[in-house]
Structure 1
Amino acid sequence: MIKAREAKPLLKELDALYEDATYTATTYFEAVKSAEFWGKLLVFLPATISALAGFSVALGASRRLGTLSAVAGVIAATGAFLGAESKGPSFKESARSFTALRHTIRLEQRIALRAPSFGDLEKTVRSLREEYNDLVLKGEPTSNRLFRRAQKRITKGMLSYDYEIEQD
């Protein structure tokens, strides 16, 4: 077992990794919600416009609304066919991957001082950082707006866990 004083730099890195994974996972979950909302809206709104315009023409309104109905119908059909939520599954996969990594990091934080040696703990921390970096490289980029939303959720304490690291 190693002493907390000796492991301090690695414990700090585990804390930083945990925070990074928390913010990234939460940002991706916000991206999933946003992609699903806008994807559904992209199909629902034109379909509703098409239906209303078509109904208006049927009731005797200007035939020009028929053109609007047709165009809106094509937009809705195209959105439905192409999958308006195309980034949603990718965001969801990233969110789940970062969440799983976050849980692994939390476990390593709890048992860090039980590592047989400083070298073993360092190897674990480097491996976790490498895994985090690999996930970052594979993930779709997200907007700053979604990060700010995630930041608000985290600041409110929605993802906090209470635990203590053993001290010498």
Structure 2
Amino acid sequence: MPGASVEAELVKELDRLYEDCSYSSQTYFEAAKSAEFWGRTLVFGPAAAAALASLLVALGLSKQWGAVGAISAAIAATASFLGSDRRATALRDTARRFTTLRHLIRLERTLAISKTSEELQSSVRALLDQYSSIAAANELASNRFFRKAQDRIRAGVLDYESDGR
């Protein structure tokens, strides 16, 4: 029956899209964690160096430490002003959008048995459009974060306890 094979192919497409969203969301979460770490480090490291250099000058050591403190403070202030956490926030928002889409795909996959071929095709197209929209609006994350995501997914980070029942 041709209709059944079309529906089976559409369900396979939902499965592929679900997997794409799983990997994409986890990759962006990994990238967000790294960006947050480095963003904080760019503010805290120079701020700590500025405080230490100022303390050394106050304790009577060389006044050259004052220059180190001033430069370090300028770096920390610049990083803070430029919003070193903006990148992490943007990456996290992208990951959340992929996660939301993943949940919608899971629901559509569950509801697929009660839909006609045309309804299912329409749903798959709409979900693909949403996926493309999210992907097109964001820069690609590094392969390093994809590999981390891949390891976490293989370790079961996205598995639900209720699926094992």
TM-score by length of 2: 0.91
Give runs of aligned pairs for residues 13-162 of structure 1, distance below 5 A.
Answer: 13-115=13-115, 117-161=116-160, 162=163
Taking the aligned partners of 1:7 and 1:114, their CA distance within structure 2 comes to 11
Taking the aligned partners of 1:71 and 1:112, their CA distance within structure 2 comes to 61
Q: CA deviation at 1:6?
A: 4.9
TM-score by length of 1: 0.89
Show CA shifts across 1:67-121 (max 9, x none): 1111001001111111111212211221111111000000011111110x21211
Q: What residue is the counterpart of 1:166 in the other structure?
A: none
Q: CA deviation at 1:125?
A: 0.9
* Contact 1:32–1:91 (8 Å) recurs in 2: yes
Higher helix proportion (structure 1 or 2): 2
Q: Describe the SS at the equivalent of 2:60.
A: coil
Q: How high is the sequence identity, in percent, across the aligned residues?
A: 47
**Higher mean C-alpha deviation, range 94-103 or range 80-89:** 80-89
Taking the aligned partners of 2:86 and 2:92, their CA distance within structure 1 comes to 11
**Higher mean C-alpha deviation, range 58-67 or range 46-55:** 58-67
Taking the aligned partners of 2:152 and 2:34, their CA distance within structure 1 comes to 15
Q: Describe the SS at the equivalent of 2:86.
A: coil
Q: In the alignment, residue 17 of structure 1 is paired with which amino acid?
A: L
Unmatched runs of 5 consecutive residues or more in structure 2:
none
Taking the aligned partners of 1:46 and 1:132, their CA distance within structure 2 comes to 40
Unmatched runs of 5 consecutive residues or more in structure 1:
164-168
Q: In the alignment, residue 15 of structure 2 is paired with which amino acid?
A: D
* Contact 1:27–1:150 (8 Å) recurs in 2: yes
Q: In the alignment, residue 134 of structure 1 is paired with which amino acid?
A: S
